[in-house]
Amino acid sequence: MPVILCHGPKGGTGTTFVAAHLAMGLSAEGADVTVLTFAARDTMPLHFGLSQAISLPSLTAPADEAVLVGGINLRHWTRSADDADLLPMLNDLGYLSPGKDRVMVLDVPSGDWRAARRIAQAACAHVCPLTVQPDSLALLPQMFDEAGTDGLSRTAFVINALDETRRLSRHGAAFVRELAGQRLVGRIRSDEAVPEAMAMLQPLSRYAPASAALSDVRAISGKLVDALHSTDPVWIAPSAASRAA
């Protein structure tokens, strides 16, 4: 069952935002989605309209402690991202093997890049959000080096928080488009509605249904969902399969 890693070379570039919306997109298509966050200081609940007072249960916590938002199961990995038990545990839970009824979206902070590399080797895709700011671009060579050709072949790049009124941003975006080519799955415009929704303790889709960032991130998750669909239809939960039929 698919494990999708969200991890970028630089912090603060929207990895958690993208992971949250990818989970929502997959869930809207009928998949049974679990989000697993790794940040010691986690802000994932805010993207679901929850308050900062909520702390997410661990992966192994019983079902009655689960935090479910719109059917999405939000969990936190309480140990180090490097913990050797992680991949065996995911395997025991049925991930990392064929079957597409359940999907897990992992939000791994940029600093945990060693763990992210190990997870990427087992994951079916790596979604890599970045901004086109120079400090984000400057980390790309190192990230490419760590990922290697095989890792990069399963990496989908996303430009986040793009402000095309800025000359440097336009140039940076043109650079990433040329560099990543087919591996760039889209761009998300910078949009004040993203922090505003958090301030309102509302999901972005409720607070600002017309948000530019929302429509952009939906387009991206739509493409990734399409890609999942196309390889094998059996991952789809029955409700979505009957809708598609």
Partner 1 sequence: MRIDARNLLDRLGRSDFSYKEFEDRFTDLELWPILEALLRDPRLQALDQPALQVAKSATRGNGEAPAPDERVPEAPKEQIQVLFSRYEHGSEPAAKASAPAPHPADSSGDVRALLRRLSAAVETEGAATGTAPREGDA
Ligand X SMILES: Nc1ncnc2c1ncn2[C@@H]1O[C@H](COP(=O)(O)OP(=O)(O)OP(=O)(O)O)[C@@H](O)[C@H]1O
Tell me which of 1, 39, 140, 225 binds ligand X, using CB under 6 A: 39
61 contact choice in Mg ion, partner 1, ligand X, none (CB below 5 to 8 Å, kind-dependent): none
Tell me which of 60, 80, 142, 242 binds partner 1, using CB under 8 A: 142
For residue 125, state whether it binds partner 1 (rule: CB under 8 A).
Answer: yes
Tell me which of 11, 232, 233, 244 binds partner 1, using CB under 8 A: 232
Q: Which stretch binds ligand X (CB under 6 A): 13-21, 76-84, 115-123, 227-235?
A: 13-21
Half-sphere exposure (Cβ direction) of 55: Cα atoms closer than 13 Å: 8
219 contacts 190 by C-beta, under 8 angstroms: no
Q: Tell me whether residue 83 or residue 177 sits nearer to partner 1 (CB atom).
A: 177
Tokens describing residue 214: 């929302």
For residue 124, state whether it binds partner 1 (rule: CB under 8 A).
Answer: yes
Q: Which stretch binds ligand X (CB under 6 A): 50-58, 84-92, 186-194, 228-236?
A: 186-194
For residue 109, state whether it binds ligand X (rule: CB under 6 A).
Answer: yes
Tell me which of 9, 14, 45, 172 binds ligand X, using CB under 6 A: 14
17 contact choice in ligand X, Mg ion, partner 1, none (CB below 5 to 8 Å, kind-dependent): ligand X
Contact track, partner 1, 166-195, x by CB under 8 A: xxx-xxx-xx-xxxxxxxxxx--x--xx--
For residue 210, state whether it binds partner 1 (rule: CB under 8 A).
Answer: yes
User: How many chain residues touch ligand X (CB under 6 A)?
Assistant: 21
Q: What is the chain's alpha carbon radius of gyration, rounded to the nearest angstrom?
A: 17
The least distance separating ligand X from the CB of residue 241, rounded to whole angstroms, comes to 32
Q: Tell me whether residue 19 or residue 236 sits nearer to Mg ion (CB atom).
A: 19
